[in-house]
Amino acid sequence: MNLSITHSDRPIGARVANVRLPDLDEDAFRRILDLVNERSVVTIEGQDLSEQQQIDFARRFGELQKIFLKDALSSRYPELFVVSNILENGKPIGSTDAGVYWHTDGAYLPKPHSVSMLYAIEVPEKDGKAVGDTLFAAMGAAYDALPQATREQVDRLRGVHSLHYRYATKADAAQDMAELTRQFPPVSHPLAIRHPATGRKCLYLSEGYTTRIEGLPEDEGEALLKALCEHVVRPEFQYRHRWAPGDLLIWDNRATLHRATFDYALPQRRLMRRATVSGEAFG
């Protein structure tokens, strides 16, 4: 298969054209996997994927992980998480507020998700231009840009991540918080992880899930966390994805943060579905 690959001019991001994912041979799949490791966010454009085809492609990356938000799962394929602002009979058909905060998927788990794949079916438009972009931040570049003393400091520290930290304030929080707390107690990960596939050091923290830094006095920890949260989303580390229907966007949760932009509203419709691959502990 004659894949056409272009890199963005940002530290992360690439685009693949001229491919039909259900027909992808092993060699072409390897090239896409390498590209995800190298560029962290990869758009496969021009797809027309059934739910089953999306699942089949995602499984090539590893075991799929079902998301805990039961009301937002596809009714026939619970491996798929629906991200949408569409209402049916007055009820949301998926998660209406995924990505309000900068975050990385599954940081609240002992083994966070490795990659996520979001497939665009309907993309809102304003004045003929797509809106509802997704923003990404390059956590390897953000680590490299830290002053050496800060790098040495974060290398020794761990952050605590919690689902309920921001979740309690989100509209999706219909499920019982006490039950969620039992199911997902806070977890700790290194503040700088070594990427399991590439070996690259990446900062691992986010405004969405990181509640505190272990082993520092509270005010010192808070100040460092705030400074790091601001540092990682500096414009030079960002990549902005403008969606088109048929895009399958693959991102590496170990090397990036992401955030949605909510610059649209019904009757502008947005419909996407996400498959998520299980990952491993960072040590």
Using CB under 5 A as the criterion, which residues of the chain lie in contact with Mn ion when the complex forms? 99, 105
Q: Coil, helix or strand for 252?
A: strand
The answer to the question of residue 260 lying near ligand OGA (CB under 6 A) is: yes
Question: Can you tell me the distance from the alpha carbon of 118 to that of 98, in angstroms, rounded to the nearest whole number?
Answer: 12
Question: Can you tell me the distance from the alpha carbon of 188 to that of 107, in angstroms, rounded to the nearest whole number?
Answer: 9
Verify whether residue 258 is a known catalytic residue: yes
Quick one: tokens of 250? 């693959």
CB of 210 closer than 8 Å to CB of 225 = yes
3-state secondary structure 104-119: CCCCCCCCCCCEEEEE
Verify whether residue 103 is a known catalytic residue: yes
Q: Which is nearer to Mn ion, 35 or 115 (CB)?
A: 115
The answer to the question of residue 79 lying near ligand OGA (CB under 6 A) is: no
The answer to the question of residue 98 lying near ligand OGA (CB under 6 A) is: yes
Q: Which is nearer to ligand OGA, 29 or 262 (CB)?
A: 262
Verify whether residue 156 is a known catalytic residue: no
- Residue 134 touches which member of ligand OGA, Mn ion, none, C-beta under 5-8 Å by kind: ligand OGA
The answer to the question of residue 273 lying near ligand OGA (CB under 6 A) is: no
- DSSP output for 167-233: HTTSTTTTS-HHHHHHHS--EEEESEEEPTTT--EEE---TTTEEEETTS-HHHHHHHHHHHHHHHT
Q: Find the binding residues for ligand OGA in span 99-138 (CB under 6 A).
A: 99, 105, 116, 118, 134
Spatial CA neighbour of 185 closest among 164, 213, 169, 207: 164
Verify whether residue 189 is a known catalytic residue: no
* Per-residue binder mask for ligand OGA (CB under 6 A), 30-69, x = binder: ----------------------------------------
The answer to the question of residue 83 lying near ligand OGA (CB under 6 A) is: yes
Q: Where on the chain is the footprint of ligand OGA (CB under 6 A)?
A: 83, 98-99, 105, 116, 118, 134, 258, 260, 272, 274
